[in-house]
Amino acid sequence: MRVWLPALLILLLLPLFLPRYPVEVLTQGFILALFASAFNLVFFQLGLLSFGHAAFFGTGAYTTALLVTKAGWPYLLTLPAAVLVAALFALVIGFFSVRTSRIYFTMLTLAFAQLLWAIVHKWYAFTGGDNGIPGIPVGSFATSAAGLYYLALALLAAGLYFLYRLDRSPLGYALRAVRDNEARAEAIGLSPFALRLLGFVISGALAGVAGFLQVAWQRSAFPDFLYWTKSAEAIIAAILGGSEHLLGPALGALAFVELGAFVQARTEYWPLVLGLVLLFLVLFFPRGLAGLLGRRDARG
């Protein structure tokens, strides 16, 4: 805790000193951090690699975008709805997916997310098709760079605190028990299917919060929010940062976004640089950025 309080204080004071652009970049970092941390709940605690988390990010974002533009809801009030809809999609997709394991789980989550993407991409009457929903009025608070910064920081901090408590709770131990030895977990009375589904739904709901924030950041919603490359961003951030550490995915996301902004200001070949960085990290630093800080103590 000694490290985190000053870090939080610095993050709270930053918008007072920084110009608009770096504040916006940091905000994007917080959003991806929340998305990657949500993904990591399924990846680390359940031991399942989801390639479909863009589905929950995207449905959360589109719920907010549609409620604001079609029903005239104030932006901030759409948060519960975005969480609920993302959780519902996670419930349906998870219901089918968590029965399978390994590569089949990865492919099934990918298939469902791509199915939703295909529908959003083509349903011009409802979702705007491949034009997306541009020019969403998100209110003066979320329009100001500092306002959105604090909103994203608050939701990220709340999300991370929630994940921290979950990690230490009996539920966290139960999830890891199912991950490590399904047969034994079942023998002591745990229900692997129910636990996996619960973890998956919580993860989807958190990803929906990130989607809700993304709408304000871009003041638009696009089908790309549901495309498989969006899911890949969460995976990269989580593994880059170190999925074993609670803060690893968030650190990875911040590094990913900051590096992206730095490189994009200098060259258009950001994917090339990212690809080379990933090659280098996978081949030489397999335990991620958090791996440099120290090992997570072996628990439960």
Task: Decide if residue 122 touches another protein (CB under 8 A).
Answer: yes
* Nearest distance in Å: CB 196, another protein: 16
DSSP-assigned states of every residue in 95-107: HHHTTS-HHHHHH
Site for another protein in 223-242 (CB under 8 A): 228-229, 232, 235-236, 239
Residue length of the chain:
300
* Nearest distance in Å: CB 97, another protein: 9
Please say which residue, 68 or 245, places its beta carbon nearer to another protein: 245
Site for another protein in 21-50 (CB under 8 A): 43, 49
x/- site string to another protein, residues 239 to 278, per CB under 8 A? x-----------------------------x-xx-xxx-x
* Nearest distance in Å: CB 216, another protein: 27
Task: Decide if residue 110 touches another protein (CB under 8 A).
Answer: yes
DSSP-assigned states of every residue in 226-266: GSHHHHHHHHHHHHHH-TTSTTHHHHHHHHHHHHHHHHHTT
List residues near another protein by CB under 8 A. 43, 49, 96, 100, 102-104, 106-108, 110-112, 114-115, 118-119, 122-123, 228-229, 232, 235-236, 239, 269, 271-272, 274-276, 278-279, 282-283, 286
